[in-house]
């Protein structure tokens, strides 16, 4: 796993903070795409798409290769893995908190639920 410094992690989360860029990354998970192909599902210009791509590049989330006049982009999952690792700590934290809440609620329900009446005469 590649460890990211805090400023790099900030850049990754900034890039992921935009829905258009997240959708572009999802498209790139299926294979390389041209800038035009990445822009196509959105009502944006190629210039606007290029700005989004530049943000993703700066975060290290994609690599762009120029072949003649065609710019091909491909996903670089390394920074996503590092972001996931960072988030995993909080996943564990919230899982522990939710498990504790569940235990408390079950204990409260057990105290409120009357004991079953037996068949004693």
Tokens of 62: 């994609």
Q: How many domains does the chain have?
A: 1
Q: Tell me the C-alpha distance between 34 and 79, whole Å.
A: 21
The CATH number of the domain holding residue 100 is: 1.10.10.10
Residue-level pLDDT at 112: 84
Looking up tokens 């900030």, which residue turns up? 10
Distances in whole angstroms, Cα of residue 14 to Cα of each of 48, 61, 72, 91: 17, 11, 23, 20
Segments forming the whole domain that contains residue 24 = 1-107
Q: Is residue 102 part of a domain?
A: yes
Cβ proximity of 62 and 74 under 8 Å = yes
Q: Is residue 116 part of a domain?
A: no
Q: Is residue 119 part of a domain?
A: no
pLDDT in tens, 64-112: 999 999 999 999 999 988 888 888 888 888 888 898 899 999 988 888 8
State pTM to two decimals: 0.71
Q: Is residue 113 part of a domain?
A: no
């Amino acid at each position: 796993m590649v460890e990211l410094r805090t400023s790099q992690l900030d850049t990754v989360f900034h890039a992921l903070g935009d829905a258009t860029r997240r959708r572009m990354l999802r498209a790139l998970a299926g294979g390389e795409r041209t800038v035009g192909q990445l822009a196509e599902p959105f009502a944006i210009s190629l210039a606007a798409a290029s700005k989004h791509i530049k943000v993703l590049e700066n975060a290290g989330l994609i690599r762009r290769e120029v072949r003649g006049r065609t710019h091909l982009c491909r996903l670089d999952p390394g920074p996503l893995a590092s972001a996931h690792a960072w988030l995993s700590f909080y996943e564990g934290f919230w899982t522990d908190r939710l498990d504790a809440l569940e235990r408390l609620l079950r204990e409260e329900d057990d105290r409120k639920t009357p004991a079953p009446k037996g068949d004693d005469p």
